Homo-oligomer: A and B are copies of this chain.
Amino acid sequence: MSGTDSHSSLVVVVMAGGRGTRFWPRSRNARPKQFLAIVGEETLLHQTVHRLEGHVAPERIFVVTTEDLAAETRRMLPELPEENVIVEPEGRNTAPCLALALVEIEQRFPEGVMAVLSADHWIGDREVFLEDLDTAVNHAAKARELVTFGIKPTYPEIGYGYIESEGQGPVFKVKAFREKPPVEVAIQYLASGRHYWNAGMFVWTLADFRAGLQKYAPEVLAPLDAWVEAGADPAALSAAYSQLPRVAIDVALLEKAASVAVVPTRFRWSDVGSWPAAIEFQVPDGDGNISQGETLLLDTHNSAFFGGKRLIAASGVDNLIVVDADDALLICHRDKAQSVKQIVERLKADGRDDLL
């Protein structure tokens, strides 16, 4: 276990600009996944920040989000200094997002080691997470390598990128980043013991990050450096930002860098990509049901009720996912949760922007 001061140099950047309606009707354009309490009582954003409590001081925690989500993000995190919520003029993928964080942070914490986390992932074991974070921070500070986290695959997922490792642990060398594989390849990766899911969490010194961007992705950094040199006028950021390429940090930097390390994680992790994923990590009652909010269940099994303001009474139903929102209600078979996408598309086609 790590104490508060184990890494006086640690600075955390939480990426919180995510979008998506896979958790419709709870998630909306203006209320993306990180703002939802879909696993546990707290929102994923709260969980991400509160997980660091006692380990990282609030003034060393930064959240990057977009203009339209900034007010709600600040409201949800009153413990952070207001200026620690960094506002992107628009979402342009993760490389611009993290480059902006770099130029905002490096003058305040020039010796900082920067850990990049996602606001909308679920992590099951706080202490283990903090230990793994320490391992990565130590390695980044001492070996001066870019460090990624690798999640041990539990099934042949085809929707994630993979990290192929080599060498000896506890910190491995990245042999290669592998794109989303076809299922046959994913099965091989799962069997190899050397492949990890790329969860988009990174640790590096601010200096190494700057050097890496300057070398491999100067087009992501130069317009921001020019903006800072010109006085960092907030009103001028939009123009600078619009020059940045829309590119992921993996592509812009990590896949090109000479030497990247990977820390295999030991904590339970999920990017909570769908309603069934939100259910998976919760402990059901004796009938296999999960209840959020008040429920009254008779002869009901293997179902999940995401209520809140209203009582949900159910009788004689199995394998349902029920999601109650103020202006819409979703009832779907547990195996049909992917149809949320169809529902959202239908609402779009019908011009029901009020529900999106």
Contact = CB atoms under 8 A, between A and B. Distances in A.
A68 B123 CA distance: 54
A331 B343 contact: no
Contacts of A339: 298-299, 315-316
Interface string A233-271: 000000000000000000000000000000000000000
Interface residues of A, number: 36
Contacts of A158: none
A311 interface: yes
Contacts of A313: 25, 328-332, 343
Contacts of A229: none
Interface in A314-334: 314-317, 320, 322, 324-333
A52 interface: no
A305 to B, nearest CB: 9
Given A296-B346, A298-B342, A347-B296, A315 B332 contact: yes
A335 B314 CA distance: 13
Contacts of A19: none
B25 A336 contact: no
A208 to B, nearest CB: 48
B315 A336 contact: yes
A333 to B, nearest CB: 3
Nearest to A338: B315
Contacts of A343: 296, 298, 313, 315
A155 B320 CA distance: 34
A215 interface: no
Nearest to A295: B329
Contacts of A327: 309-311
A190 interface: no
Contact of A329 (B299, B324, B326): B324
Q: Among A312, A313, A346, find the residue whose CB has the most chain B CB atoms closer than 10 A.
A: A313
Nearest to A332: B315
6 contacts: A299-B339, A313-B330, A314-B332, A315-B331, A315-B339, A316-B336
* The 6 residue pairs across chains A and B that have the minimum distance between CB atoms: A316-B336, A316-B333, A315-B332, A315-B339, A311-B328, A314-B331
A310 B329 contact: yes
Given A310-B326, A311-B355, A317 B296 contact: no
A66 to B, nearest CB: 27
A2 to B, nearest CB: 45
Contacts of A335: 316
